[in-house]
Copies of this chain bind each other. A is one copy, B any other.
Amino acid sequence: MGLTSDEEPKTKDMENGSLSSSHYHTENLPNIHKVGVPRRSNLLKEFTGGVKETFFSDDPLRPFKGQTKSRKFILAIQAVFPIFEWGRDYNLTKFKGDVIAGLTIASLCIPQDIGYAKLANLAPQYGLYSSFVPPLIYAFMGSSRDIAIGPVDVVSLLLGSLLQNEIDPIKYPAEYRRLAFTATFFAGITQATLGLLRLGFLIDFLSHAAIVGFMGGAAITIALQQLKGFLGIKNFTKKSDLVSVMQSVWGSVHHGWNWQTVVIAVAFLGFLLFAKYLGKKNKRFFWVPAIAPLISVILSTFFVYITRADKNGVQIVKHIEKGINPPSVNQIYFTGDYVIKGFKIGVVAGLIALTEALAIGRTFAAMKDYQLDGNKEMVALGTMNVVGSMTSCYVTTGSFSRSAVNYMAGCQTSVSNIVMSCVVLLTLELITPLFKYTPNAILSSIIISAVISLIDYETAYLIWKIDKFDFVACMGAFIGVIFASVEVGLLIAVSISFAKILLQVTRPRTAILGRLPRTTVYRNIEQYPDASKVPGILIVRVDSAIYFSNSNYVKERILRWLTDEEEHLKANGLPRVDFLIVEMSPVTDIDTSGIHALEELYRSLQKRDVQLVLANPGQVVIDKLHASKFTDLIGEDKIFLTVSDAVLTCAPKVVDEA
């Protein structure tokens, strides 16, 4: 559309003549430096640099540099299986820590697994299966030392609600299970692919605030779902939103609740919460909340067995398949309609699982100060889920509650996961029949007491205090999950996060700068009320890269600042503005639209007899200003290293007097 006009600029001479060093004042620390124009690097170098910074910002090949071939091979093996790296320094002291931690998380995971499998609408043994194989794989490939692998509440809920949209888990349990394995397979593939393609940064697009809201909403949704087991209700809604669940609960209040169930559930929930409180109050008692669930299961199972409360309507687990994971490769759908459905569900569940695992991994890595390679971690988690999908496991990831217990119990390496895995193996082989009389209510109590800590109202309040937009994302996700569904909440969270980025690049901030008294420092006059404007000069700072999405706005906003200023000056009978200095320090990049906007700004200013001056354009920007010949248009001598230099040249007398 030929938007670049070929009209030749009529460069006006500046009123104060061209720049010469005589304008500088010795007490103002003269700058003899011009804006630096770096040598243009060639295109290939620029391109590879960009690719490297985007995909290989962590420089994964650094240790391989200058090594022999055999050494490189060993390093490669160690890169894929970190166990061969840290395994060499492994010793008995570490093993002792890992065994204690492993036993502790095993006692926590067994009852949780059975409950979480129900959240995913799967039989209880699938929860245990998922705590056997994946932790073993992770122990060899993962680089986090503290994460505890297994099924987790939010992913179980998400997977369950996505799967039951496709297949009814009660009518068609076999097909449902097959779809679950298919989704798990694709979740693993998604995770590993993101890691291999080094696209790990994509999961950063789910903001921390959105995750807090999403987790809080999911926690409440999960707790609400537990009311079925907690109150012993038989006909319960399949929907997960607050309104449907409350209707189910109140609708059955007169004849649907089972008082024996309620008594067991309330008593043990009280016990679990007290244990939790104790553990929080005194860190020495961290093991109390960790083993309380298992104790509850044992006690309540024994109680039901003795009293045969199941005959009075107390629902029990009834049956858990004995023996270890059967293979399930042949159960994954590789053809047909369900492939696409399984793929979609797998991608969503895989991403959420990844987000959770990486957040946990990073938190603990920061606490113990070791580096976590996000992309490598994704490959490990992905492999673990692919193998899991072939051995009757559903999507697993790092569990926050169990990882925290693992950390506090003194785990040293991922050997604690192996220990846990062994305990689960023994459980599957030996003691599953003992769970027959375990009341469902106790599982509900355990899940409720576990998810409560996901409702992180303190962080939500902190978010509210720090950033209102983040709070909107947080609440949007929270309300979406509670009142609509997990998927809707997730969608809201992602949308608001994106909207925030787009808004930032569409409406960047601009500020008027003034000179701080007795300095050569120019700062935002709103932030520094004692900064004073320089007569005859308007200094505007643009706080963003100038891109197509904001170039028009930036141009018009600068002109509006000028119009406002001129009106103000006129009203007060002050001298007019002769120079408009644009402070470019925060302008980190500019594109063709941005340069176009600057050209238009220059022309508009010329018509108003105001001289455009630029201060401190950065490396990329000055490069592009040269490439586009914009520097020739406004004149090289209108571009300064600092605002102070520009002011000194534009109005030397005024500054003198100040």
Contacts and interface: CB of A to CB of B under 8 A. Distances in A.
Interface string A23-63: 00000110111001110000100110000011001110000
A236 B506 CA distance: 44
A516 B466 contact: no
Given A363-B5, A603-B369, A528 B356 contact: no
A2 interface: yes
A571 interface: no
A127 to B, nearest CB: 21
Interface stretch (A117-125, A256-264, A591-599): A591-599
A576 B441 CA distance: 60
A519 B503 CA distance: 38
A312 interface: no
A518 interface: yes
Given A468-B43, A509-B588, A548-B497, A3 B459 contact: yes
Contacts of A205: 502, 506, 548-549
29 contacts: A1-B360, A1-B454, A4-B462, A7-B367, A38-B527, A38-B529, A57-B553, A58-B556, A201-B549, A201-B553, A204-B506, A207-B548, A207-B549, A207-B591, A208-B592, A366-B600, A369-B607, A462-B592, A462-B628, A466-B624, A466-B628, A469-B591, A500-B591, A504-B505, A504-B545, A505-B505, A509-B588, A521-B641, A544-B545
B456 A2 contact: yes
B591 A59 contact: no
Given A1-B212, A367-B5, A603-B369, A31 B549 contact: no
Contacts of A548: 204-210, 497
B503 A369 contact: no
Contacts of A33: 516, 519, 521, 528, 530
A310 interface: no
A592 B204 contact: no
A620 interface: yes
Interface string A208-229: 1111100100000000000000
B543 A588 contact: yes
Given A59-B560, A466-B595, A527-B36, A506 B201 contact: yes
Contacts of A628: 462, 465-466
Interface in A101-116: none
A557 interface: yes
B465 A627 contact: yes
A287 interface: no
Given A29-B29, A31-B519, A604-B369, A588 B544 contact: yes
A29 B519 contact: yes
A137 to B, nearest CB: 23
Given A29-B519, A547-B501, A628-B465, A1 B588 contact: no
Copies in the complex: 2
Interface in A496-523: 497, 500-509, 511, 516, 518-521, 523
Q: Count chain B CB atoms within 10 A of each CB in A366, A400, A502 and give the residue with the most.
A: A366
Interface string A482-504: 00000000000000010011111
Contacts of A469: 591
Nearest to A211: B1
A550 B504 CA distance: 14
Interface in A437-489: 453-454, 456, 458-459, 462-463, 465-470
B618 A527 contact: yes
A146 B286 CA distance: 76
A642 B400 CA distance: 41
A53 B459 contact: no
Q: Which 6 A-B pairs have the closest CB atoms?
A: A207-B548, A543-B588, A527-B619, A586-B586, A208-B593, A36-B528
Given A53-B507, A58-B556, A209 B593 contact: yes
Contacts of A36: 523-524, 527-529
A552 interface: yes
B400 A1 contact: yes
A1 B462 contact: no
Contact of A586 (B400, B518, B588, B624): B588
A47 B331 CA distance: 54
A526 interface: yes
A589 interface: yes
